[in-house]
């Protein structure tokens, strides 16, 4: 768990280092040609900031004010906003004279409608919500949210990580973060469904209700229908259970992808052509990219950082995205990230 934290803070430091360098390069006029043809952005929660002592998911959260500033910045940087589902046609047309910015929001949070939608509407920016079928119908839970609440509410708990019931100390922020990392790696390495179910059972013992959390945080089918009355909004698939697809059998992974497209089609009457892999990192790979293509997904996105190249060989079911997250909420950062330079520097 300590390694996870170290790795995360290193990753953050490297990205921040890249940001600093790219700002300097921007100032020196070395930006030209580095940004590819544009970028796809990832958001999760968009809501006013609530300061909490223990906020392990803070990186998944931006404020509406930041989103507003980011859109203003991208507009003044000369970006044109595009819906994700329009990307194949845009690439086929081959006119890349103006860079494009595409906005996506993962998981289907209610605050996306409440706090992000008005901002997108004001700027006339299309946006795609990647909806997790099991969150929409409340048959599955958000383990990272359940975990944050369970660990934040208690000074110690007991849990069986596989070697019997053990005491997990939660007296300080450091202990809570260490526990969060331990649970996260337990979920990422064991049977994900079983590990999440065990977490849910533990949470209920400590009066944290995982079902209430998914109910409170995520949109219902009727809310999705209402959202789609806004012509700027569209929906994409994000599986049913939000499990790491690469760790499932091919049949299970296929079922997760098609299941999410089916569930959205049942709600909206339209089959989505876009999809986002849960977690989006190494927990999806070539097999999943192929499965997505196979079932008619036109555009699928990862969370591998990077910009769009416009290259004809670009894999449309494995596109990189730029995460706009809680670590660096300034418009200059958005400019720098969209430039693609930080990602190039990371590879050096
Ligand atoms: Zn997700």
Phi and psi torsions of 169, nearest 5° = -75, 140
- What is the Å distance from ligand 1's center to 213 Cα? 15
Lowest-pLDDT choice from 195-204, 212-221, 318-327, 332-341: 332-341
- Domains along the sequence of the chain with CATH: 2-138+218-347 (3.20.20.370), 143-212 (no CATH)
- What is the Å distance from ligand 1's center to 246 Cα? 15
Summarised one tens digit per residue, pLDDT across range 148-193 is 999 999 999 999 999 999 999 999 999 999 999 999 999 999 999 9
- What is the Å distance from ligand 1's center to 320 Cα? 15
- pTM, 2 dp: 0.89
- What is the Å distance from ligand 1's center to 243 Cα? 9
- Is residue 141 within 8 Å of 247, Cβ to Cβ? no
Phi and psi torsions of 37, nearest 5° = -105, 5
- What is the Å distance from ligand 1's center to 131 Cα? 8
Confidence of residue 335 (pLDDT cuts 50, 70, 90): confident
Summarised one tens digit per residue, pLDDT across range 67-90 is 999 999 999 999 999 999 999 999
Summarised one tens digit per residue, pLDDT across range 9-61 is 445 544 544 455 455 445 444 444 455 899 999 999 999 988 888 999 988 99
Tokens of 251: 């049949």
Q: Which residues contact 342 (CB under 8 A, 6 or more apart)?
A: 15, 18, 19, 21, 22, 305, 336
- Is residue 297 within 8 Å of 33, Cβ to Cβ? no
- What is the Å distance from ligand 1's center to 94 Cα? 31
- What is the Å distance from ligand 1's center to 244 Cα? 10
- What is the Å distance from ligand 1's center to 136 Cα? 13
């Amino acid at each position: 768990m300590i390694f996870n934290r170290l790795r995360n803070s290193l990753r953050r430091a490297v990205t921040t280092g890249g940001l600093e360098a790219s700002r300097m390069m921007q100032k020196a006029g070395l930006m030209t040609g580095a940004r590819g043809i544009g970028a796809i952005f990832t958001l999760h929660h968009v809501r006013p900031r609530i300061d909490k002592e223990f906020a392990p998911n803070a990186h998944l959260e931006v404020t509406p004010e930041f989103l507003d500033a980011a859109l203003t910045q991208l507009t003044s940087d000369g970006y044109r906003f595009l819906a994700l589902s329009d990307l194949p046609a845009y690439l086929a047309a081959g006119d890349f004279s103006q860079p494009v910015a595409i906005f996506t929001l993962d998981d289907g949070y209610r605050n996306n409608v409440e706090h992000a939608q008005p901002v997108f509407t004001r700027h006339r920016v299309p946006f795609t919500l990647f909806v997790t079928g099991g969150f929409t119908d409340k048959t599955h839970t958000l383990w990272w949210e359940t975990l944050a609440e369970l660990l934040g509410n208690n000074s110690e708990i007991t849990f069986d990580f596989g070697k019997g019931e053990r005491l997990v100390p939660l007296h300080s922020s450091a202990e809570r973060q260490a526990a969060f990392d331990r649970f996260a790696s337990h979920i990422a390495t064991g049977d994900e469904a079983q590990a999440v179910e065990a977490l849910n059972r533990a949470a209920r013992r400590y009066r944290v209700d995982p079902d209430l959390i998914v109910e409170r945080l995520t949109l219902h089918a009727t809310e999705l229908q209402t959202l789609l009355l806004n012509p700027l909004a569209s929906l994409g698939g994000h599986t049913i259970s939000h499990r790491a697809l690469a760790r499932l059998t091919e049949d299970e992974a296929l079922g997760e992808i098609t299941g999410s497209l089916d569930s959205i089609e049942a709600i909206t009457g339209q089959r989505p052509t876009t999809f986002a892999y849960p977690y989006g990192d190494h927990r999806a790979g070539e097999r999943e990219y192929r499965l997505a293509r196979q079932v008619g997904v036109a555009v699928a996105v990862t969370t591998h950082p990077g910009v769009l190249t416009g290259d004809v060989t670009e894999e449309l079911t494995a596109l990189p995205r730029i995460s706009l997250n809680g670590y660096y909420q300034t418009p200059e950062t958005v400019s720098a990230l969209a430039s693609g330079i930080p990602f190039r520097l990371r590879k050096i």
